[in-house]
């Protein structure tokens, strides 16, 4: 449901990546990389407490043009409400199409408000890579298509490719840690030829206070004939939200066609923003009455109800569920009765 804002890592694309290995720069000073990692730790907290109203406007490239003409009307405009409560809760409401994504307590929910139904799975908040959230919120999430490593960890433990510094602006290009090993393992399991992991890039102003200015990521190829393409996320404007300096406008540039490479632009603009007190109460993740299904567990339950269906059994719990039971599922099942 987040794919409007960032291309997903499709498995087939991962398997067929076959670009030559990126050159590793042995001359990169380890102390410089550590200085960048420290700046990233200061710039990117694990979570923030704020509420944003944003619009996403997408422009396509006209035939024969290299870039879209932003004087024309965008072909897609959507409005979102983003609420983050530290690392405990991240909610993204698509007000245009009435669906919502929620990450909380180790679970992710994809909710259709119109149908009052949701799918759920157990994943960390790190999975919330859409909407350019890592850059928009200036938080420590994975960058681009770099895998699961958070930005600060990836800077320290990734494989360096290039490092440039001009005044206080630093650009660092690297392969995310573990990505090559993972790709090698998957290709071996699938009897595919060996492939090279794709590069990630981060650009920061490391002056006080440090900020992430831009990120970029190579897109995995679908086959050998594809062009090597890259998506970029850039901060075009900043503003103040409480005591936080955050992006107001983020520009996402993505290749729209692998054969010719014309660009598709998405402009994310913050229309309204407010800081939330860190000690403000956090409501339950979903309202009562939403039917939630976790297909991997064969589990279906209704928020606010004691009745569940689990692997073909119809059960009644002692206490109603207000969210995915997660690791406490077996404990809850131990006191449940058949219906």
Q: Does the predicted TM-score (pTM) go above 0.75?
A: yes
Cα(150)–Cα(281) distance, integer angstroms? 27
Question: What pLDDT, on the 0 to 100 scale, is given for residue 191?
Answer: 85
| Separation of CA 110 from chain center | 14
Name which of 140, 259, 289, 245 is nearest 202 in CA terms: 140
Cα(93)–Cα(82) distance, integer angstroms? 6
Cα(327)–Cα(132) distance, integer angstroms? 30
Question: What pLDDT, on the 0 to 100 scale, is given for residue 196?
Answer: 76
Question: What pLDDT, on the 0 to 100 scale, is given for residue 10?
Answer: 28
Question: What pLDDT, on the 0 to 100 scale, is given for residue 88?
Answer: 87
Cα(112)–Cα(114) distance, integer angstroms? 5
* Domain 11-275: assigned CATH number: 2.50.20
As given in the structure block, the two tokens for residue 212 are: 């992430």
Question: What pLDDT, on the 0 to 100 scale, is given for residue 74?
Answer: 95
Run means of pLDDT, 10 residues per run, the chain, 339 residues: 32 33 64 95 93 94 85 94 91 89 87 91 65 84 66 89 95 87 82 80 95 87 65 95 95 76 88 96 91 94 95 95 91 93
Cα(260)–Cα(29) distance, integer angstroms? 37
Question: What pLDDT, on the 0 to 100 scale, is given for residue 85?
Answer: 93
Domain range list for the chain: 11-275, 297-338
Q: Decide if 129 contacts 141 (C-beta within 8 A).
A: yes
Question: What pLDDT, on the 0 to 100 scale, is given for residue 58?
Answer: 93
Q: Decide if 177 contacts 157 (C-beta within 8 A).
A: yes
Question: What pLDDT, on the 0 to 100 scale, is given for residue 310?
Answer: 95
């Amino acid at each position: 449901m987040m794919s409007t804002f960032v291309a997903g890592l499709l498995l087939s694309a991962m398997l067929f990546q076959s670009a030559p290995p990126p050159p590793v720069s042995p001359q990169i000073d380890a102390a410089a990389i550590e200085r960048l990692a420290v700046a990233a730790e200061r710039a990117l907290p694990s979570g923030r407490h704020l509420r944003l109203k944003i619009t996403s406007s997408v422009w396509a490239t006209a035939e024969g043009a290299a870039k879209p003409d932003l004087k024309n009307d965008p072909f897609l405009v959507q409005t979102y409400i983003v609420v983050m409560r530290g690392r405990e809760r991240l909610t993204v409401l698509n007000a245009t199409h009435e669906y919502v994504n929620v990450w909380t307590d180790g679970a992710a929910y994809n909710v259709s408000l119109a149908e009052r139904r949701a799918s759920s799975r157990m994943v960390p908040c790190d999975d919330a890579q859409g909407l350019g959230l890592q850059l928009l919120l200036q938080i420590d999430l994975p960058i681009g298509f770099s895998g699961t490593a958070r930005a600060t960890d990836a800077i320290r433990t990734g494989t360096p490719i290039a490092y440039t510094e001009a005044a206080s602006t630093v650009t660092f290009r690297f392969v995310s840690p573990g990505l090559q090993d993972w790709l090698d393992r998957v290709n071996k399991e699938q009897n595919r030829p060996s492939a090279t992991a794709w590069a990630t890039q981060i650009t920061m102003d490391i002056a006080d206070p440090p900020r992430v200015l831009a990120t970029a990521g190579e897109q995995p190829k679908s086959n050998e004939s594809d062009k090597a393409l890259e998506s970029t996320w850039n901060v075009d404007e900043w503003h103040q939200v409480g005591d936080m300096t955050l992006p107001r406008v983020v520009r996402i540039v993505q290749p729209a066609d692998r054969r010719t490479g014309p660009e598709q632009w998405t402009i994310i603009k913050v229309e309204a923003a407010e800081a939330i007190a860190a000690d403000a109460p956090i409501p339950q993740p979903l309202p009562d009455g939403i039917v939630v299904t976790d297909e991997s567990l064969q589990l279906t339950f209704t928020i606010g109800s004691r009745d569940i269906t689990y692997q073909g059994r119809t059960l009644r719990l002692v206490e109603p569920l207000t969210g995915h039971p997660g690791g406490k599922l077996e404990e809850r099942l131990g006191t449940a009765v058949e219906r």
